[in-house]
Structure 1
Amino acid sequence: MTFYVAHRLFAAHDRALAADLADRIGERVGPARVFLPFCDTDEEDLVAEVKGRRLFELDRERLGHLDAMIAILHGPSLDDGVCMEIGYAAASGAPVIVLSTDFQTYSMTGTGTHLEFPDPLLQHVATRIVRVAKLGPPSLPAPPGKTRFQEFQARNLAQTNTALDATVDALLDLPDRTCRPESTPTNISSPVYVEASPYTPQDRNHLAMTCVDAGHTVVVPQRFTAPDPLAGASADLAAVRSAGRLVADVSGPETPPGTALLIGAALASGVQIAAFQPQSTFTHAHGREPNWRNLMIQYAADAHLTNEEAVLSWLAA
């Protein structure tokens, strides 16, 4: 069995946390059975003609053979690369364990159902959520010579250790799987699923209306308007996996988490993907080509479109 640890890559403390988790899993199952992105792709020192694409290919190769995913998600701004990987794993039939130390819950309205994550898709696809929301207990009596900041750090480390150990236990408690569900076959004549971005300044229905006006059958998300957000999330995931094409507005500081998850699910299901982004911004890293989005999103997409005319041309192709 192969275990894939999905985590935010861009800061040392995030990578260190993921490495701690991977090491604890490796101690229980053997390190050869654990895949840790950035570490196992040698991301900082990798040399390739198109480095971002090569990193995507290396990660996708492991995504296609994993037996379980362990994903680290914290806070309201969820990493779009991790969410994409979660969608890929879920659509492939692999169980997904999500670790969070976020002390907040989320809802669509002030009195709505409380959810573990800002987008109900994350909660829907998670096989198990390990949530440790409180600091470790204070030391009583306070250790002599220890500042309040050191005590606060110790309480955070205790919280982290509890969460990591609980995640490893949850992983080892997963039942053995003997088979994977087959991918849902897609047909180019199937409906077009259109996923808007909450960061788009225009009317959020503009992409869907563009496709409808051109004669396409369109499916739009239900999870944000359904009385039961999780039922809506289930319907959205099923609709994307059976769609002919996915048009996803990836605008925003990051691709919205649910959108990223659906892109991963579409990729695993063989659905053609267009990333719509009227105004691109780029990220840069040593030895890597400029990326207009998280590389897991960028290279999952078959097309990068910047206006409605380009969307119609892509749909007509």
Structure 2
Amino acid sequence: MYYVAHRLFAAHDRALAARLADRLGRKLGVDQVFLPFCDTDEEDLVADLKGQRLFELDRDRLRRIRALIAIVHGPSPDDGVCMEIGYAAALGAPVILLTTDFQDYSTAIHGPRTVFPDPLLDILATRIIRFPRLGTPTELPGGSRFADFAARNHTQTEHALDACVDAALQLPARPPATPAPSRDADTVFTEPSPYAPPHNGLPGLPPNTVSTIRRPTRFEAAAPLTAARHDWAAALRSTRIVVDASGPETPPGAAILIGAACATGQPVAMYLPRSTYTHAAGREPNHRNLMIQYSAVALRTPSEVTTWIKA
């Protein structure tokens, strides 16, 4: 089963994901492709807690996938998609990332660049499909400059979709699911929010809360990809993970780690001192993306963080 992950709350993203799923289905068979929200049929789904039921259906599919193909673009990647990437990667499933963003990112003006704003995405990708600039200009007889510009982008998108399908077809046979790594006793990995000043916005933990507190190093490292691999391994080896989910949406790294913990049964919590609730017809209010809300415990105060870590 090939799982196509995409941002739900924008029609152009839904349409792009559907076109990708359709092309995959024509090559692999439609029963071999899963498109969330299309195949869970949100509008006709009946459940007391519809958001939770959608989460459960998508999570169950993630456990059985052949590969994940995710649409990830812009400086604020969708947190639900990032959760799905972390989930798949933690289980050893190949991850193909399609981005329409031709920018690179760095934490210093002359520092090393990464394809994505959080280098965890770079290191978890089996393959990245992207283009380094706008599409090649085309000439349309009688077309306006706006139609010409639309054609440039349409052509580039078509090439990207073809490249995703080719990459999926070229994947080697998937090895058995990756077993969860052994955990180091009495350790906690704390992931701050890049949106909370200073950079480490997670509340400080009192002495003797836990034997070892691990923190990420990739945002200040001279070699961010190497540091990202270290952060990923350190998080998965920790007894617990606590992330700062502050921001307009859960930060990419926090969402990735929540997904990984959900996949492997690792206790994970998010520090969320302030919620922004989202509302959709027929669905219960969500204080985060539903893939995040139902994967992690929400902690509202520093004392709750301390209590959860010591539990």
2:69 corresponds to 1:66: no
Query: TM-score w.r.t. structure 1 length?
Result: 0.94
Task: Look up the equivalent residue of 1:172 and give its one-letter code.
Answer: L
1:310 is aligned to: 304
Task: Look up the equivalent residue of 2:54 and give its one-letter code.
Answer: L
* Superposed CA offset, 1:156-200 (max 9, x none): 11010010001110111111124222122446x431011111222
CA contact (8 A) 1:197 1:251 kept: yes
2:218 is aligned to: 223
* Superposed CA offset, 1:115-162 (max 9, x none): 10000000000000011243433334x412x22111111111101001
1:176 is aligned to: 173
* Superposed CA offset, 1:67-101 (max 9, x none): 10001011111000001100110110000000112
Task: Look up the equivalent residue of 1:29 and give its one-letter code.
Answer: L
CA contact (8 A) 1:134 1:159 kept: no
The 2-side partners of 1:206 and 1:160 are apart by: 39
Structure 2 gaps of 5+ residues are none
The 2-side partners of 1:22 and 1:52 are apart by: 23
Shift in CA distance, 206/36, structure 1 to aligned 2, threshold 3 Å: closer
1:166 is aligned to: 163
The 2-side partners of 1:287 and 1:88 are apart by: 27
The 2-side partners of 1:63 and 1:215 are apart by: 32
Deviates more, 1:172-181 or 1:191-200: 172-181
C-alpha displacement of 1:57: 0.3
C-alpha displacement of 1:216: 3.9
2:136 is aligned to: 137
Count of residues paired in the alignment: 311
2:250 corresponds to 1:250: no
Query: TM-score w.r.t. structure 2 length?
Result: 0.96
CA contact (8 A) 2:4 2:17 kept: yes
CA contact (8 A) 1:237 1:265 kept: no
The 2-side partners of 1:23 and 1:278 are apart by: 41
Equivalent position to 2:187, from 160, 185, 191 = 191
SS at match of 1:283: coil
SS at match of 1:290: coil
C-alpha displacement of 1:245: 0.8
SS at match of 1:288: coil
CA contact (8 A) 2:3 2:67 kept: yes
The 1-side partners of 2:199 and 2:14 are apart by: 38
Task: Look up the equivalent residue of 1:134 and give its one-letter code.
Answer: R
Task: Look up the equivalent residue of 2:258 and give its one-letter code.
Answer: I
* Superposed CA offset, 1:35-76 (max 9, x none): 000100112331211111101000000110111000101111
Task: Look up the equivalent residue of 1:158 and give its one-letter code.
Answer: T
Deviates more, 1:171-180 or 1:241-250: 171-180
Shift in CA distance, 206/151, structure 1 to aligned 2, threshold 3 Å: closer
The 2-side partners of 1:298 and 1:163 are apart by: 32
CA contact (8 A) 2:111 2:222 kept: no
* Superposed CA offset, 1:252-307 (max 9, x none): 00111111111111111221011101111100001111100001111000x21111
The 1-side partners of 2:279 and 2:106 are apart by: 35
SS at match of 2:110: coil
Shift in CA distance, 80/206, structure 1 to aligned 2, threshold 3 Å: closer
Shift in CA distance, 48/229, structure 1 to aligned 2, threshold 3 Å: same
1:108 is aligned to: 107
Shift in CA distance, 212/164, structure 1 to aligned 2, threshold 3 Å: farther
2:231 corresponds to 1:233: no
C-alpha displacement of 1:8: 0.4
Q: Which runs of 4+ in 1 moved over 3 A?
A: 133-136
SS at match of 1:285: coil
Task: Look up the equivalent residue of 1:183 and give its one-letter code.
Answer: A
